[in-house]
Structure 1
Amino acid sequence: MTIRPIWFATVLTFSLSLQATPTAITQVNGYHITPMQGLERFDTLVFNEGKVLATGDADLLLRYPQANVVNAKGKTLLPGLTDAHGHLLGLGENLLQVDLRGIGSARDSVAKVSQYFAQNAKLDWVIGRGWNQVLWPDKQFPTAAMLDEFIPDTPVWLERIDGHAAWVNSKALALAGINKDTLDPPGGQIIRDNLGQPTGVLIDNAMSLVAERLPKANHNKMQSALTAATAHLLSLGITSMHDAGIDKATYNFYKAQAQHGKLAIRIYAMLSASDTELATMLKQGRYHDAQDKLWVQSVKAYADGALGSRGAAMLAPYSDDKHNNGLLLTPEDRLPELFDLVLNAGFQLNVHAIGDRGNRLVLDNLASAYTRVGGRNLRNRIEHAQVVSLEDIPRFKTLNIIASMQPVHATSDMNMAEDRIGKERLQGAYAWQTFLKQGTVLAAGSDFPVELANPFHGLHAAVTRQDHQGRPPQGWHAEEALSIEQALRAFTLDGAFAAHQEDILGNLQPGKWADFILIDRDIFQAPATELWQTKVLQTWVAGEMRYKSAP
């Protein structure tokens, strides 16, 4: 289906286009989840000046006789979806760069990069993302030499799909001064050959050796990335996203966009703990604009790396790399100071932790910080919570920590996770249902552009724990699968709760923003195996249609 974004024109005229009289969308197959009643159905939604007035049956039209009536002809209506962990400008940049996602070999990846360079030969750098050696026949990391054959004189920077490794050519290595004598930085690794020479792959903190040479972002590039990403997310039914780690430049850019009414989706932005100006940003205090388009009251920190690149910090060595326990991206002795700084400022702390050691360190340090500076009520989060020791899972509940997890990670990782950590440690991995049963709040996202941003892929993965071909037939560790109601809640009401926004977002109760979508099927009646095929027909933000699919 061809789609066409319409949000750009409407966002510029938002303040002028709010209707003085209510709008009623009727004959909808409406669903939303409320805290008291759970899943509720309705066939009419009434809103005015961007806020919901009521949901109910067709009798609502009698209560609002002056309303402008829109007949939805039985289409399914849901609250706008929240992606609780993504990277907005990273998505936009990815949409504008060479995309290596899903390519089945290093050689084919090089061919695509070479083709991209041929079409953009005036670039100072060739930049891309998405390669994944796990999908390749030999499952081996690529090399600079593969790129040098086709692009010897222009530096190349290609991030792995998870953003925790970079593949570069020899020109990029030379510009960064990386050679046999270069030491691995703390929390990073330069992959080397048998002679100790850099091969062209940099893991985690070693990436910064080259990344600091990349072209700096400017307003025009950021605007282009925001435009591309916003249009894409609206076409997928995402009306709100949590931006997992922004630097000072992005912070200033977002605030300017919000103050001029130029944000078309809602952004819950987490300040990057690695930014040298974190303390300055914290001193400016929490922020949100009058239209609730931008919220800044949280910080994103890193404990460890990623599983695919063996950078996730593990309590015991990797099953397929007996001398490797992963990496800590933030030195362990710096965690107490960082946690105290953030919590003492009254900011929510959201920490990336994938390995069981990474998760334990976060749990230990939050418990200690609570005794020193408090902050238990800030709804602190562990981002990913991917592999957790069984004895640590109950601590999420006792420490009042939200599990911010991405269902698509399980179906993406199932082809390599057991190789990495073995069967025993998988018992506490991607354990969504276990978290829910103990009362832990589960906020769902995608981690775009690491994964595709489509939330219906996430709903499908959450419910089936299968890939799009239905593999494995019974689902991968299906005991941890969610019901469709649980999954929808994680992408709506609990996503809002994880951002302290449950009073204004997450469902369509009166007084909340009229953010909603119309889709092409009833996800509660359609086969679970087909959820990923769901198409968005319309996306509305604050009572204004910002996207409509082509007929």
Structure 2
Amino acid sequence: MKRLFYNGKIASLDSNNTFYEAIGIKDSKIIFLGLDTEAQATKSEYDERIDLHGKTVVPGFNDSHIHLLNTGYAMTMLNLDPFNSIENIIDGTLAFIKTHAFSSEMWLLGRGWNQDKLKEKRYPTRADLDRISHTIPIIFTRACGHIAVCNTVALNTIGMNSLDTHDENINTDKGLFQEDALNALYAAVPSPSKDEIKDMILKASNALLKQGVTSVQSDDLCCMPDRDYEKVLQAYHELNHEKKLPVRVYQQCLFFEESDFEAFAKKHYRTGQGDAFFKIGPVKLLLDGSLGARTALLREPYSDDLLNSGIACFEQNELNRLIQRTQHYGFQVAAHCIGDKAMDMFVEALKNVPSFNKEADHRHGIVHAQVMTPDIIRSMSDLHLLAYIQPIFLDYDLHIVDNRLSHRANNAYAFKTMLESNIKLCFGTDAPVVDYNPFENIYTAVVRKDLNNQPETPYLITECLTVNEALKAYTLNGAYSAFEELYKGTLELGKLADFVIIDQDIFSIDPIEIKNISILMTVLDGQIAYEQI
């Protein structure tokens, strides 16, 4: 099948930032780029010709850090984000139960609460959830995914006496669990079947296509309650074999225990295994929590919680050993680090590997990289580490960062500084933590304001990116982080025909309007995967 798209503004995002008027594709590849007058000479060779009516075309977006399966899983849960108080959560959940015929054999799962957005300015508690039901087990997870609260029924189902009473990450009186203690909470929840997992992947992927996302780097393996990564991999492989996988997936393989990683590696899984639609990517390591929950690991205590410096998911010697094992097997590594201390630990662990060669093409990276310091930026640049960042986090974080960090906020979310230090920025959303809309992400990177256009003066205005820089972080750099820049990420001859047509010219409109851009069409692998009606 040959298609010609003409009469458009086609941004290649190549090294010369070339614009074209027409793009021709054959099957899955780009075979022509040029002017409309040049395309006219061969237009009869195409099976279909599509008039772009002057609209802008950019490469398909690559969400470099997302939880695709968990996004689909969250779509089956009660969405708690719209509720602005604990009372609203209680009333809304009672209404939800009435309309969904819940029984005591069913678990009620919800996600999306954020104490800073609630009228009471506190976490929901076990007592709050007990007001909803004394018979249905309930778990409500914070938007960040690093803290959850449950009711008494859920605690009893788990077995309260089986919990480690000395674990600082568990507060049974309040029904609160955080970080690695969440595994004990979720273990009692019935896990979706393989077919249900496939449905979740499909539902989330099709939603992403409507936003122009054609590639994802997704952390999925241990996100189901049973943490059965083989079942998740089988679901992906079946969808791929059946040619039903809607987006390209580079799997970020999260493991909580060294023994689980060793078992995975001994089954001969390796970074880069797979094809153009599904590949094994880096080992994902979780080193700390989140800023909003005050579990991100800091060098110094939180300015609004002076007895708390966050949570370390590993001791330094444990992390050193685990990083050495990943390098023994030749894996790429992507480390979740929000706090400066967490990033210190990752850098030290890499340097501790006897065979580590910073000039090798390893493409290790730090996921989030929020609480930056000049010395961390220098280390990232020196070690050629990638930065998997989520500018959209500023929508919420710019309202809390000064209280959480005080003077340290002056170095936070240092996108431009990292870019000028030759650190490759790779944009992602971390969905379902936030929405997967790429234009909200680009908007916050360019204007450094929340989605309500506040504050009047951009937060750390010198860290604003240009539209072109933001687009490359969402396309080419995402491809680079997956060792795929030679065949996707830009619109060039011979590359994959993954691109999107948008309703406004992102290069010329007022940057404030970027967040309102819509997708008119998504082309993936040369096929029209989504078209706005």
Contact 2:390–2:429 (Cα < 8 Å) also in 1: yes
- Counterpart selection for 2:210 from 231, 235, 238: 235
Q: CA deviation at 1:463?
A: 0.5
Shift of 1:263: 0.7
The yes-or-no answer on 1:294 pairing with 2:278 is: yes
Q: 1:111 aligns to what?
A: 91
2:494 pairs with 1:526: no
Query: Does the CA-based 8 Å contact 2:194-2:232 persist in structure 1?
Result: no
Q: Deviations over 1:79-103 (max 9, x none)?
A: 1011110000111111221111142
SS at match of 1:391: helix
Q: Distance in 2 between matches of 1:356 and 1:340?
A: 22
- Pair 1:341-2:316 in alignment: no
Alignment match, 1:386: 370
2:152 to 142, 149, 170: 170
Alignment of 1:262-277 (within 5 A): 262-274=244-256, 277=260
* Residue in structure 2 matching 1:541, options 520, 524, 530: 524
The whole-number CA distance in structure 1 between the counterparts of 2:444 and 2:317 is: 37
Which whole-Å CA distance do the structure 2 matches of 1:87 and 1:145 have between them?
Answer: 30
Q: What secondary structure does 1:433 align onto?
A: helix
- Work out whether residues 245 and 300 of structure 1, in 8 Å CA contact, stay in contact via their aligned partners in 2: no
Q: Does 1:451 align with 2:434?
A: yes
**Aligned match for 1:42, one of 20, 28, 38:** 20
Cα deviations across residues 159-183 of structure 1 (Å, max 9, x unaligned)?
A: 1000000011111122223379842
Counterpart contact for 2:316–2:349, Cα < 8 Å: no
| Offset of residue 548 of structure 1 | 1.1
- The AA in structure 1 aligned to 2:10 is G
Q: Which amino acid in 1 is paired with 2:256?
A: S
Write the distance in 1 (CA, Å) between the matches of 2:198 and 2:89. Answer: 28
In the alignment, residue 444 of structure 2 is paired with which amino acid? Answer: A
Report the counterpart of residue 297 of structure 2 in structure 1: 313
Q: CA RMSD for the aligned pairs?
A: 1.8
* 1:77 pairs with one of 38, 57, 74: 57
Q: Is the 8 A contact 1:179 1:198 kept in 2?
A: no
Structure 1 gap segments, 5+ residues each: 1-18, 192-196
Deviation, 1:332, is 2.5
Q: Is the 8 A contact 1:444 1:490 kept in 2?
A: yes
For 2:216 and 2:240, the matched residues in 1 are separated by 15
CA-CA distance at 1:139 after TM superposition = 1.6
Residues 79 and 201 (structure 1 numbering): CA distance in 2 closer, same or farther, change over 3 Å? same
Q: Which AA in structure 2 matches 1:255?
A: H
Which residue identity is paired with 1:344? Answer: H
The 3 A distance-change label for structure 1 pair 356 and 209 is same
TM-score, normalised via structure 2 length = 0.94
Question: What is the aligned partner in structure 2 of residue 62 from structure 1?
Answer: 41
User: Within 1, Cα distance between the matches of 2:200 and 2:368?
Assistant: 25
**Contact residue 395 and residue 451 of structure 2 kept, 8 A:** no
CA displacement, residues 228-247 of structure 1 (integer Å, 9 cap, x when unaligned): 10111001100001002523
Offset from partner CA, 1:128-148 (integer Å, 9 cap, x none): 100000112332111111111
Judging changes above 3 Å, is the alpha-carbon distance between structure 1 residues 184 and 143 closer, same or farther for their aligned structure 2 residues? same
Identify the residue that residue 400 of structure 1 maps to in structure 2: 384
Kindly provide the amino acid, as one letter, of the partner of residue 478 in structure 1.
I
Contact 1:173 1:179 in 2 (8 A): no
Residue matched to 1:481: 464
Aligned to 2:226: none
Report what 2:141 is aligned to. 159
Q: Which moved more, 1:344-353 or 1:202-211?
A: 202-211
Deviation of 1:360 (Å): 0.7
Q: Aligned pair 1:138/2:120, yes or no?
A: yes
Query: What displacement does 1:285 show?
Result: 3.4
Q: Secondary structure at the match of 1:198?
A: coil
> How far apart, in 1, do the equivalents of 2:490 and 2:284 lie?
26
Q: Alpha-carbon deviations, 1:313-366, whole Å to 9, x = none?
A: 111111111111110123322111211121222211000000110011111111
Measured in 1, the distance between the counterparts of 2:274 and 2:532 equals 29
Q: SS of the residue aligned with 2:342?
A: helix
Aligned residue among 87, 93, 108 for 1:126? 108
Identity over aligned pairs, percent: 27
Q: Which digits, 9 at most, give the CA deviation of each residue in 1:154-211, with x for residues without a partner?
A: 11111100000001111112222337984243xx5124xxxxx621221212222211
- Label 1:356 to 1:257 Cα distance change in 2 as closer, same or farther (>3 A): same
After TM superposition, the structure 1 stretch with the greater mean CA deviation from structure 2, 271-280 or 140-149, is: 271-280
* 1:150 has 2:124 as partner: no
Instruction: Deviation per CA, 1:41-70: give whole Å up to 9, x if none.
Output: 111001102111121111033246411321
Which residue of structure 1 aligns with residue 348 of structure 2? 364
Who is 2:488 aligned against?
Answer: 505
| Distance in structure 2 (CA, Å) of the matches to 1:245 and 1:380 | 19
Match of 2:184 in 1: 209
Q: Please tell me whether the aligned partners of residues 82 and 445 of structure 1 are also in contact (alpha carbons under 8 angstroms).
A: yes
> For 2:391 and 2:82, how far apart are their aligned partners in 1?
18
Residue 330 in structure 1 maps to residue 314 in structure 2? yes
- C-alpha contact 1:99 1:128 (8 A) present in aligned 2: yes
Give 2:194's aligned residue: 219
Q: Which stretch shows the higher mean deviation, 534-543 or 386-395?
A: 386-395
Partner SS for 1:472: coil
Structure 2 residue 4 is matched with structure 1 residue 24: yes
Greater Cα shift, 127-136 or 467-476? 467-476
Which residue is 1:470 aligned to?
453
5+ long unaligned stretches in structure 2: 223-228
Aligned to 2:375, the other structure's residue is in SS state: coil
**Cα distance change on mapping 1:56 and 1:181 into 2, 3 Å:** closer
| CA distance 1:243–1:184, shift in 2 (3 Å) | farther
Q: Normalized against structure 1, the TM-score is what?
A: 0.91
Which residue of structure 1 lines up, in the alignment, with residue 399 of structure 2? 415
Equivalent pair of 1:464/1:475 in contact (CA under 8 Å): yes
